[in-house]
Chain A
Amino acid sequence: MKIAHYFFLLTVILLWGCSSDNNSEDDSEDLTAEFEYSINGTPMGVTVESAFKNSPTIHIGNGNINTSFLIDFDESGHFGKITCTYTDFSGTKRFTSYRNFSSNYFNFQLISYDAVNKRVKGTFQGNVYYDPADLNSEAKFINGSFDLPYVEYVPAVTNIINKATINGVNWRSTNMYQVRQGDYHTITLHSLSDDVYKVMFTFNDQNMPPGVYNFTSSSTLNNVQIAKFNVTTASYTLYNCTGTLTITNKWANCLKGTYSFTGVNPSDPNDIITVENGDFKLDYDLYN
Chain B
Amino acid sequence: MKKILLILVLSIVALGCSSDEDADPVVAAPIDFKLVIDGVELEIPREDTPAPGISSGGVSKIGNLLHVSVYNGYASTDAAFNLILIFTAQGKFVSGRMNFSSYNFGNPIYTNFIHFPSNYFQVDTFILDEVNHKVKMNFTGNLYYNNQSLTSEAKNIHAEIDMEYSDNPLGSSPPLAINNVEQYCRANFNANPWEARYEYSYSSFTNEDEYKVEIKFANSPTPGSYAFDPLSTTNYVRLSKFNPVTLVYDYYNTSGEVGYTYREFHGTNRYSFIGTFSFTAVNPTNPTDIIQVTNGEFRSYQQF
Contact = CB atoms under 8 A, between A and B. Distances in A.
B226 interface: no
Nearest to B5: A6
Interface string B1-12: 010011011001
B12 A155 contact: no
Nearest to A5: B5
A9 B9 contact: yes
A10 B13 contact: yes
Contacts of A18: 16-17
B192 interface: no
A161 to B, nearest CB: 13
Contacts of A20: 19
Interface stretch (A27-35, A58-66, A127-135, A230-238): A58-66
A153 B40 contact: yes
A1 B2 contact: yes
- Interface-centre pick from A3, A18, A157, A251 (highest chain B CB count, 10 A): A157
Contact of B40 (A10, A14, A17, A152): A152
A283 B104 contact: yes
A249 B150 CA distance: 12
A63 B107 CA distance: 14
A14 B76 CA distance: 50
A66 B19 contact: no
Contact of A61 (B16, B76, B81, B100): B76
Interface in A135-162: 151-158
A156 B108 contact: yes
A210 to B, nearest CB: 10
A20 B243 CA distance: 61
B79 to A, nearest CB: 5
A259 interface: no
Contact of B76 (A3, A63, A154, A252): A63
A152 B76 CA distance: 12
B87 interface: no
Contacts of B6: 6
B145 interface: yes
B222 to A, nearest CB: 47
A170 interface: no
A154 B157 CA distance: 11
A253 B12 contact: no
Interface string B32-54: 00000110111000000000000
A13 interface: yes
A116 interface: no
Interface in A63-78: 63-66
A158 B100 contact: no
B75 interface: yes
Interface residues of B, number: 37
B102 A156 contact: yes
A13 B9 contact: yes
B15 to A, nearest CB: 11
A251 B13 contact: no
B155 A154 contact: yes
B105 interface: yes
- Interface-centre pick from A62, A155, A249 (highest chain B CB count, 10 A): A155
A64 to B, nearest CB: 5
Contacts of A110: none
B150 to A, nearest CB: 12
A245 to B, nearest CB: 19
B69 to A, nearest CB: 16
B233 interface: no
Contacts of A221: none
A253 B105 contact: yes
B78 interface: yes
Nearest to A158: B38
A286 interface: yes
A254 B153 contact: yes
Interface in A231-288: 249, 251-254, 256, 283, 286
A54 interface: yes
B78 A156 contact: yes
A157 B38 CA distance: 10
A52 B74 contact: yes
Given A1-B2, A156-B108, A249 B37 contact: no
Contact of B105 (A6, A13, A256, A283): A283
B103 interface: yes
Nearest to B38: A158
- Interface-centre pick from A6, A14, A66, A154 (highest chain B CB count, 10 A): A154
Given A156-B102, A249-B151, A283-B105, A63 B79 contact: yes
Contacts of A52: 74, 76-77
B106 interface: yes
B246 to A, nearest CB: 21
- Interface-centre pick from A18, A153, A283, A286 (highest chain B CB count, 10 A): A153
A249 B152 contact: yes
Contact of B145 (A9, A66, A252): A252
B12 A156 contact: no
Interface in A155-180: 155-158
Given A63-B79, A154-B79, 10 more contacts: A6-B8, A13-B9, A17-B13, A54-B79, A63-B78, A66-B103, A151-B74, A154-B72, A156-B104, A253-B105
5 contacts: A10-B12, A20-B19, A154-B37, A155-B105, A254-B153
7 A-B pairs closest in CB distance: A156-B102, A63-B78, A156-B100, A156-B105, A154-B37, A153-B77, A6-B5
